[in-house]
Amino acid sequence: MQKIVLGAWFVLLVSGLSAQDVSISRNSEVMDSTKFSSLIKRYEQIIMADREELALFKIDLLGPLLYALSAEDSAKSNIARISFEKKFKPEWSWIITTEIQANRLDITELRQRAGARYYFNMQKRILKGKSANNFSANYLSARLNYKRRPVENENQVSIDLLFGIQRRLWKYGYIDFDIGIENIIAPYESKSAGIDFTSSIQIGIAF
C-alpha cells in the first residue's frame, strides 16, 4: 500500500513539473513571438513600409563624406551623386543619375546613367501587407551608362545589368546597394570592350 501511495505521489509530482515546463515553454514562446512582432513592426516603420511613394529625388551623402575624409590626393570618390526615380507600375520604375567623381587635383570622371528597375518582390510585399507601393524592395535593373574623362577627353558607353537592394530609412533617408556586370560597348582608349564587374552603395537623403 505504501508503495502504491509513493508511486502515485511520484506520478503527480512528475505531471506537475511537466505541466509547469509546458507552461513556461508556452509563455516563452509567446514572449519570443511578441518580441519578434515588435522588431518586425519597428523595421517596417524604419523603411516606411506603410507609406506610398511614386517618385523619389535622392542625394548621396556617403561619397562626399569619403571624399572629405580622404587624405590621399589621388584617392577618387564621388563628390556629387543625385538621382531621380519614378514609378510607372507598382513593381517598375525608371531612374536617371548624375555623378561627379574627383580626387584632390581634378575631376576624374563624369557619369550619366539612365535605366529601368524591376522590383521583383514588391507585389508580394504589398499583398502580404509588408509594404506600400514605395521604393523599399529588391530589384533587377538594366541601364545605359555614359562616362567621360574630361582631362583625357575620353568617353565610354556601357550597358549594365544589376541586382540591387534599396530601402527607405525613416522619412528622409535611403540606402541603395547594387552589384552586377558592365557590358562595355564603346570603351575608353586605355580599355577594351567586354564585360567588367561593377558595384556601388549610396546612403543619403531622399524626398
3-state SS of 2-32?
HHHHHHHHHHHHHHHHHHHHHHHHHHHHHHH
What does the block give as the cell for 61?
Answer: 551623402
What does the block give as the cell for 7?
Answer: 508511486
Residue of 60, 45, 48 lying closest to 137 (CA atoms)? 48
pLDDT tens string 42-98: 666 666 666 778 899 999 999 999 998 887 777 788 899 999 999 998 899 999 999
Is pLDDT of 31 > 70?
no
Q: pTM above 0.85?
A: no
Half-sphere exposure of 206 (CA within 13 A, CB side): 28
In the chain, the amino acid numbered 145 is N
State the pLDDT at residue 152: 92
Decide if 21 contacts 104 (C-beta within 8 A).
Answer: no
pLDDT tens string 176-199: 999 999 999 999 998 889 999 999
* DSSP secondary structure letter of residue 163: E
What does the block give as the cell for 70?
Answer: 580622404
